[in-house]
Amino acid sequence: MAIKVDKEGRLFHLQTKDSTYQMYADEKGILLHTYYGKKIDEENLRGLICRADVGFSGNPPEAGEDRSYSLDCLPQEMPGSGVGDYRDDCIRLWHSDGSMAADFRYVGYEILAGSYRIPGLPALHDSEEEQGQTLVITLKEVASQVMVCLYYGVFEAENVITRAVRVENQGKEDVILDECLSCCLDFQFGDLDMVTFAGRHAMERGPERNPVGRTRLEVGSVRGTSSHQYNPAVILCSPQATEDFGDCYGMCLAYSGNFVVSAQKDQRGQTRAVMGINPRQFSFCLKEGEAFDAPQVILSYSDRGFTGLSHQYHRILREHMCRGKYVRARRPVLINNWEATYFDFNEEKLMAIARKASSLGIEMLVLDDGWFGKRDSDNSGLGDWFVNEKKLGGSLKRLGDRIHDLGMQFGLWFEPEMVSQDSDLYRAHPDWAVQVPGREPNRGRNQLVLDMSRKEVRDYLLERMTDILSNAPIDYVKWDMNRSVCDIYSHTYNRIGEFYHRYVCGVYDLLERLLARFPDLLLEGCSGGGGRFDAGMLYYSPQIWCSDNTDAINRLDIQYGTSFFYPVSTMGSHVSAVPNHQTGRVTPFQTRGHVALSGSFGYELDLNKVTEEEQALVKEQVAQFHKYYELTHEGTYYRLSGPAGRFCAWEFVDADQSQALETLVMTSAEGNPMPVHTTVKGLDPEKRYRCSYNDMVCSGRTWMNGGLTLERVPGEYESLLIEWRAEE
Ligand code: GLA
């Protein structure tokens, strides 16, 4: 049993293999957070809470004369707003009498077998190998009939604890929920750093580390998506933590819309971190009997540095968030025509790309933007999901069949959530676009956003997509989303604070219904590359286009940052042409392949335009993809260096430590070069391994401690694959 409760039903231990999370409902009914960290025995740690009479930190009525009991200082699970805790809170309620108070007390608990589901939202699920366990704690607001259910999921073997929140109005009067965060983590002692993953379009998820002090650290999004700019996943770690050592706590939100995460030290040096839906532009009205479900936060603790933490997230997201056939099934090597043709294609151009690709072993052609409506540039046509047969020289079925006849699969691009003003859809339904009546809307990429919170909009999209997917042999869909949301308004309800969340729920609803209709479809998420690369999207699409930037050297930074939370199997990564379309940089074909191999692999160029030597390399790379698939997609991933040095290296090790694969890319060159020495990790110290670089056989212990020095310093942008194989 991963969840243990004392006989009074007030002390809760969530035990994973290596960590413990402990809570205690005290005699006043406040749910206190007593501990999260390295595993402890089932003993009450409430004694760790040091109480004191702190000036200007008031006391709740039950405290009586005891001035040392203050919500402003106590570590809590669900701090409410307006009732004496002046730090960041998780829930804010406006009652019908105009008052604002959220004062919750413990009512009871329940333990459920298996993991919990959240209506309409993604959540970790059980697998054949591991079932989660769920603790539900119920709290009641003191002066109203608002109930809160706190959900805690425990995945013992994976060292993961999840949190989610349900707020229910059981009273007669309306209640306004102005904030409902999913998770509060209070740390009473010690210093922490916060690592966030920040960037911009085509340069996503660069780690940034800052000490948590009294100045509030906060990142988030109000763009309607999780965004390129900040990612809904952060690490809190001890200031001493490194790649291999030290305490690390991960907070990862399974949600694809507006979010916030912050951390700050209070007046007594205690750290509070909170995470959830961004309260900016958020306000929900709960009528009698209505409930609100806040999304899941996936927590994990490791005392083995960033590497240990990443391993835990990789496993849990791969095995318990991704769903469907492609959790196990091998992903096809694809070729996408976007950077090869942009909008300028016809059937023959596509067939020429497909024929060449198939002759080199590539398994799927993905037809990107431009196959529908009037769409020869990005200024028109979105929303008109009708095949442009004139441009394709025939039906989509005919094209799909021709691709299938080559022995390839066929994939198609959609951007369901958008509409161009120059489209039949917009002309017929201008009110389906998100815009405020009487105001000119902002345009992003010259397009507007569809109101995904409206069922008729989703029904139209489902009908169009179903029609297209059932009338042509389509194996894969790239689901794109190419602008941020603003000018929010909806014709179907007047509480605009509900819009952003309803939008995200609408997107999830459409994805869910599409997958129910086409369960074997492989979905690749995308939002101008990695603008919606989050755990929520992985519930629907096991791979996400990592970035619109395909430059192999920039990809080192992007894939490095992405790897802290997200498994390599989820990162769409392609070999593209040089000079690179985003950076103008020229890198060797081999290096582009080596970098893309550490991802859901593919090509994005016209292979008829590359040299014969490079075509031969494609064959070799496809063979390498298959040869190393178990390692790259299911193996354990190690960052061997950051991307900021002279070279960047990373490694995969298989489950039984019989094989390891290192990729090393030189990022710069220097005169009179210093030697290149690289480490190796994760081998079995007792086994003997042959290294493909120099054919030497040494024990795992020797390789891991001694490392490997390259005989020749590779040139700028050159790369190597090095294999270690255990001797029988
Ligand atoms: C976005 C995607 C690209 C491509 C284009 C098509 O930018 O990230 O990969 O699909 O849209 O318009």
Q: What does the DSSP assignment read for 304-329?
A: BHHHHHHHHHHHHHHHHTS-SGGGTS
Which of 97-111, 209-223, 241-255, 486-500 shows the lowest per-residue confidence on average (mean pLDDT)?
486-500
Confidence of residue 494 (pLDDT cuts 50, 70, 90): confident
Bridge partners of 572, per DSSP, are: 545, 600
Mean pLDDT of 368-377: 98
Confidence of residue 1 (pLDDT cuts 50, 70, 90): confident
Q: Is the pLDDT of residue 706 over 90?
A: yes
Cα of 480 vs centre of ligand 1, distance in Å, is 7
> Which residue among the candidates 384, 614, 651, 662 is catalytic per the annotation?
614
Considering only CA atoms, which of 5, 7, 564 is closest in space to residue 21? 5
Nearest CA to ligand 1 atom 11: 528
pLDDT tens per residue, range 685-695: 999 999 999 99
pLDDT tens per residue, range 296-327: 999 999 999 999 999 999 999 999 999 999 99
Q: Is the pLDDT of residue 549 over 90?
A: yes
Mean pLDDT of 218-242: 98
Give yes or no for residue 548 CB within 6 A of ligand 1.
Answer: yes
Give yes or no for residue 528 CB within 6 A of ligand 1.
Answer: yes
What is the C-alpha separation between 447 and 195, in angstroms, rounded? 34
- Is residue 93 within 8 Å of residue 178, measured between CB atoms? yes
How far separated are the first and last CA of the chain, in Å rounded? 39
pLDDT tens per residue, range 386-412: 999 999 999 999 999 999 999 999 999
pLDDT of the residue at 219 = 98
The count of C-alpha atoms lying within 13 angstroms of the C-alpha of 48, restricted to the half-sphere facing its C-beta, is 18
Cis amide bond preceding 441, omega within 30 = no
Give yes or no for residue 529 CB within 6 A of ligand 1.
Answer: yes
Residue % of the chain over a pLDDT of 70: 100
Q: Is the pLDDT of residue 576 over 90?
A: yes
pLDDT tens per residue, range 335-353: 999 999 999 999 999 999 9
What is the C-alpha separation between 555 and 598, in angstroms, rounded? 10
Mean pLDDT of all residues in the chain? 97
What is the C-alpha separation between 310 and 304, in angstroms, rounded? 10
Q: Is residue 466 classed as helix, strand or coil in its secondary structure?
A: helix
Q: Is the pLDDT of residue 493 over 90?
A: no
Give catalytic status of residue 534 as yes or no.
Answer: yes
pLDDT of the residue at 690 = 98
Residue % of the chain over a pLDDT of 90: 98
pLDDT of the residue at 277 = 99
pLDDT of the residue at 728 = 85
Could you tell which of 372, 380, 413, 573 is best to mutate to test the pocket of ligand 1, judged by most ligand atoms within 8 Å of the CB?
413
Cα of 132 vs centre of ligand 1, distance in Å, is 37
pLDDT of the residue at 532 = 98
Q: Is residue 338 classed as helix, strand or coil in its secondary structure?
A: helix
What pTM did the predictor assign?
A: 0.98
Considering only CA atoms, which of 580, 529, 589 is closest in space to residue 558? 529
- 62 φ/ψ angles, rounded to the nearest 5 degrees: -65, -15
pLDDT of the residue at 208 = 98
Could you tell which of 337, 378, 526, 555 is best to mutate to test the pocket of ligand 1, judged by most ligand atoms within 8 Å of the CB?
526
> Which residue among the candidates 204, 534, 548, 651 is catalytic per the annotation?
534
Mean pLDDT of 366-385: 98
Q: Is residue 616 classed as helix, strand or coil in its secondary structure?
A: helix
Mean pLDDT of 612-637: 98
Q: What is the bridge-based pairing of β-strands 175-187 and 271-277?
A: antiparallel
